[in-house]
Structure 1
Amino acid sequence: MSSSRALGSMPAMRMQPRETSDPSTSDVPIFSVFTSGGYCIAFGPYTAAMLALASLVATAVVGNVLADRPKLSRDPNYFPIAVWLQSPSNARRYREIGMNLYVGLWQGPTEEQIKALEEAKMPVICDLNGWAERNLNRRIVVGRMHGDEPDNAQSLPDGKGYGPPILPEKIVEGFGAIRAKDPSRPILLNLGQGVAWEGWYGRGVRTGHLEDYPLYAKGADILSFDIYPVTAKQDAVRGKLEMVGTGTRRLREWAAKDQTVWACVEATHIDNASVAPTPEQTRTLAWMAIAHGATGLIYFSHQFAPSFIEAGILADEKMAKGVKAINEEITRLAPVLNSPSLKASADGGVTVLAKRYKGQTHLFAISTRAQPTTTNIRVTGLEGARQVETVGSTVPLSAKDGGFRDSFGPYEMKHYRL
């Protein structure tokens, strides 16, 4: 995803990069660092000292704003299924295929946009602009947006190339500024594909620096990221659906326990005129994220090639039908997915999420391999022999002391009940 977002002011420090060109090949920029105590020059955007400073700033700011982190919902039957940056005029149609949340409003929010969403009964997470500050009582607004892909190299003014990513401490300070103005709503930050792919050259001078992300993670209540392996044109990503799981797992590790992690899911050509995901692949991506710890999803519906379509999912009848089925499945399982997790393990390239709901153990297992595999799954704490039901299959399985063996096709997902 990409868009321009207001990230709040940073009164204590301002950093200005020297002009650069391509983000993957430009020289390391020189920064002018202005502080409340004076002026100095620092060479390089992220020296060890500056990262240490970022951590100190983040810790101080986060400690001040998180006494009681607001939640999007405490309803155990609610699983956030969002769509990114769509026109409010299509909100009813998105509700019909199982979306229950909008994320982002183009050049908004405005009175007209919010009124349309109120009429469609579609909640939204959006920016805290001037209009929003004057209208904090609009309850259809359930959260605040705090930037999209600040971890990527940022465009310089007048088309003069790219500078470095936005500094993590600026994101954290912006988080504090939003929280001060609107303390009752959770704040969402979306990060780029560097979360999952450390070789992503779109990060410019910070390519490969995963150590930045625990600092970025301090700048929101809800953390999400986007990587689109089906339509990717880079060999390192193309066709590797497991990268959605890798990014989700990492983001969950970098987040605090009381933070929420979401993942973005592709469902159109995006900018690849030759390739688009099938509904089956989109379902795999959704469950890849959930099995690795995502508790919300954001669909990317735009299509830029072979032609521009904003509501790309709605324009594709087959995909819209498939997305509706995916969303109905997830919504039906929301009470289970929101229930306490159990300790479980699997080998053979399979990831398993274990839940306990109404006296029954549910396992959501997915292969992270593009080839068939066999796995040994074990749930800690289950004793004795019991039957294993594979939802949608009649193949009998038995578990002993919480352990059993099964085979998976490429990127196959299975739901077991014990």
Structure 2
Amino acid sequence: MRVPRPLLVALVLLTAAALVWVVLDLRRAGSGPRGTASPGPATSAPALAPVDWEGGPAYYARFPATAAAGWTDPSFFPVGVWYESVITQDDVDKDREAGINTYVELTETSDMALIRKNGMFAITGKPIAGYGPETVAWLVTDEADMWAGPGDDGWTGNFPGQGPLCVPDDPHKERCGYTVMKTLKDRLPKNDGRPHYANFGKGVMIWQNDRQAGRFVNDYTDLVSLDVYWYTSYYACLDAQNSLKFRADQCARAANYGLLIDRQRKLDALDGKRQPIYAFVEVGRPAPEDRQAIGPAQLKGAVMSSLIHGARGVVYFNHSFGGQCQSQHVLRDACGAATRPAVAEVNRQIKELAPVLNTQSLQHDFGKGIDTMLKRYGGASYLFAMPGADGGPGPYTFTLPPGVPAGQVEALYENRRIPVTGGAFTDSFAEESTYHIYKITP
């Protein structure tokens, strides 16, 4: 039977439409069974959030003096010594051998040309004769939070031991610290491209509230540090027991040096701007009333705790005024026989790991009792770890976050590797000051 032309056209169109539908349906289904969607692209693990920071080495690009000195180089990490005298090449050689690269305050007799010639740096409280590009920053003053207190009262111009300090004169209510900071900063050279640095003490850490301490930390400086000598200071321990509710056995611990950094980071964030925070660690027995000197393992632990909590530099208190061996040059003479090797060792680690330390840390909670810092550099992850303020010696298990593949875990500077099972590994810490640095590679 002959099919009418209109009906024939309709059949052709229906057949073509069916073929198109089949082809499209097959494309949607892929090679799997009909109705099963093809797997989409693999989803990567969520990125770890960064820890807030000041910007690392790039921060120093804000200041012509530090930029010209090379402090923007990721391989540089500031390691200073407090209030030295540099007269001879032997002085410089001993300091460099200990891993020092910066003098934080100097005697007026120091040879600035010698410092400059040796590629060292200085942060001083005033221009010293012959100073030049080696002087990268100005020191406003030391511990005004303690000896002058939080307040805007008048200042006599005296320093501790020279007579009355504040106006009005009330030895039980020293309240002119902000005036001291402003006055001394105003005396320094202006607009010369150098940042301003100050060191504080127990006032900021223990005695003052956030509002009072925050003014010291935020209103006058571009670089800041805080010293409380937990391992050695008799009075710091008493103050911490009274004000911070420490137990007596909680004072002499490496983890407390990390708490100093935490306190400064909290205060530093109050104004919405961040600056590098430096650690301050003793190398001897700082005060006559102190009952003990810091030990080598304690010193290294104090430095590492500071770094783990975000310290962007280290300064060593080089004076020892207690005990049988007293010195203002501990790292150069016999008084430093026990601690100098420890200083040199941890400084060598800092220098070798500077490119890692100068990266932004990543947030991850590895559990209670352990302090950690996680970084990524050069295709590897680096985990710095030690017992925290609420922890102690013993074994700890580290469960790595998604996105940190662990084919191998190496304990740096210990010549050992640690087995990984199910994305986790366990290691032990012999003392409260023991730290491990793990390099984690896929």
TM-score (norm 2): 0.68
Alignment CA distance shift 1:147-1:116 (3 Å):
same
Residue aligned with 1:139, SS: coil
Counting strand residues as a fraction of each chain, which structure ranks higher? 1
Equivalents in 2 of 1:384, 1:92: separation in Å? 43
Match of 2:145 among 151, 154, 161: 151
Verify the 8 A CA contact 1:267 1:300 in the aligned structure 2.
Answer: yes
TM superposition shift of 1:356: 0.7
The aligned residue for residue 396 of structure 1 is 418
The aligned residue for residue 136 of structure 2 is 142
Verify the 8 A CA contact 1:388 1:399 in the aligned structure 2.
Answer: no
Equivalents in 2 of 1:118, 1:162: separation in Å? 44
The aligned residue for residue 302 of structure 1 is 319
Alignment CA distance shift 1:217-1:380 (3 Å):
farther
1:323-362 residue pairs with structure 2 within 5 A?
323-362=343-382
Verify the 8 A CA contact 2:142 2:198 in the aligned structure 1.
Answer: yes
Identical counterparts, % of pairs: 25
Verify the 8 A CA contact 2:369 2:392 in the aligned structure 1.
Answer: no
Alignment CA distance shift 1:321-1:276 (3 Å):
same
- RMSD of aligned alpha carbons: 3.0
TM superposition shift of 1:271: 2.2
Match of 1:244 among 231, 249, 257: 257
The aligned residue for residue 88 of structure 1 is 86
TM superposition shift of 1:114: 1.9
1:69-108 residue pairs with structure 2 within 5 A?
69-70=62-63, 72=66, 73-89=71-87, 90-106=91-107, 108=108
Alignment CA distance shift 1:166-1:248 (3 Å):
farther
One-letter code aligned to 1:252? R
One-letter code aligned to 1:79? F
Alignment CA distance shift 1:211-1:373 (3 Å):
farther
TM superposition shift of 1:345: 1.7
Q: In the alignment, does 2:287 pair up with 1:271?
A: yes
TM superposition shift of 1:173: 7.2
One-letter code aligned to 1:277? I
The aligned residue for residue 229 of structure 1 is 230
Equivalents in 2 of 1:397, 1:322: separation in Å? 29
Equivalents in 1 of 2:397, 2:228: separation in Å? 29
Verify the 8 A CA contact 1:266 1:282 in the aligned structure 2.
Answer: yes
The aligned residue for residue 40 of structure 2 is none
1:137-216 residue pairs with structure 2 within 5 A?
138-154=132-148, 155=160, 158=163, 161=171, 163-168=173-178, 171=181, 175=185, 177=186, 181-196=190-205, 198=206, 207-216=207-216
TM superposition shift of 1:84: 0.1
Residue aligned with 2:437, SS: strand
Equivalents in 1 of 2:212, 2:353: separation in Å? 35
Equivalents in 1 of 2:147, 2:268: separation in Å? 22
Q: In the alignment, does 2:329 pair up with 1:311?
A: yes
Verify the 8 A CA contact 2:387 2:429 in the aligned structure 1.
Answer: yes
The superposition leaves residues 151-197 of structure 1 with CA deviations (integer Å, 9 ceiling, x where unpaired) of 1033485368464254447636755x47871441121110103444x
Alignment CA distance shift 1:271-1:86 (3 Å):
same
Q: In the alignment, does 2:286 pair up with 1:281?
A: no
The superposition leaves residues 80-113 of structure 1 with CA deviations (integer Å, 9 ceiling, x where unpaired) of 110000111223321121100000123x4x6x53
Alignment CA distance shift 1:169-1:344 (3 Å):
farther
The superposition leaves residues 23-57 of structure 1 with CA deviations (integer Å, 9 ceiling, x where unpaired) of xxxxxxxxxxxxxxxxxxxxxxxxxxxxxxxxxxx
The aligned residue for residue 113 of structure 1 is 111
One-letter code aligned to 1:388? V
User: What is the number of residues matched between the two proteins?
Assistant: 335
* Structure whose alpha-carbon radius of gyration is higher: 2
TM-score (norm 1): 0.71
Residue aligned with 1:118, SS: helix
TM superposition shift of 1:140: 1.0
Equivalents in 1 of 2:265, 2:366: separation in Å? 19
Alignment CA distance shift 1:400-1:304 (3 Å):
same
Verify the 8 A CA contact 1:153 1:162 in the aligned structure 2.
Answer: no
Match of 2:124 among 111, 123, 126: 126
Gaps of 5+ in 2: 1-58, 149-159, 241-250
The superposition leaves residues 134-165 of structure 1 with CA deviations (integer Å, 9 ceiling, x where unpaired) of x7x71111111011111103348536846425
Equivalents in 2 of 1:165, 1:377: separation in Å? 48
Alignment CA distance shift 1:281-1:414 (3 Å):
same
Verify the 8 A CA contact 1:84 1:298 in the aligned structure 2.
Answer: yes
Equivalents in 1 of 2:215, 2:177: separation in Å? 9
Alignment CA distance shift 1:165-1:417 (3 Å):
farther
One-letter code aligned to 1:142? V
Equivalents in 2 of 1:313, 1:346: separation in Å? 36
Equivalents in 2 of 1:98, 1:249: separation in Å? 25
Equivalents in 2 of 1:263, 1:336: separation in Å? 18
Equivalents in 2 of 1:375, 1:190: separation in Å? 35
Gaps of 5+ in 1: 1-65, 199-206
Match of 1:371 among 377, 392, 395: 392
The aligned residue for residue 38 of structure 2 is none
The aligned residue for residue 54 of structure 1 is none
Equivalents in 2 of 1:323, 1:397: separation in Å? 31
One-letter code aligned to 2:418? P
One-letter code aligned to 2:115? L
TM superposition shift of 1:375: 3.8
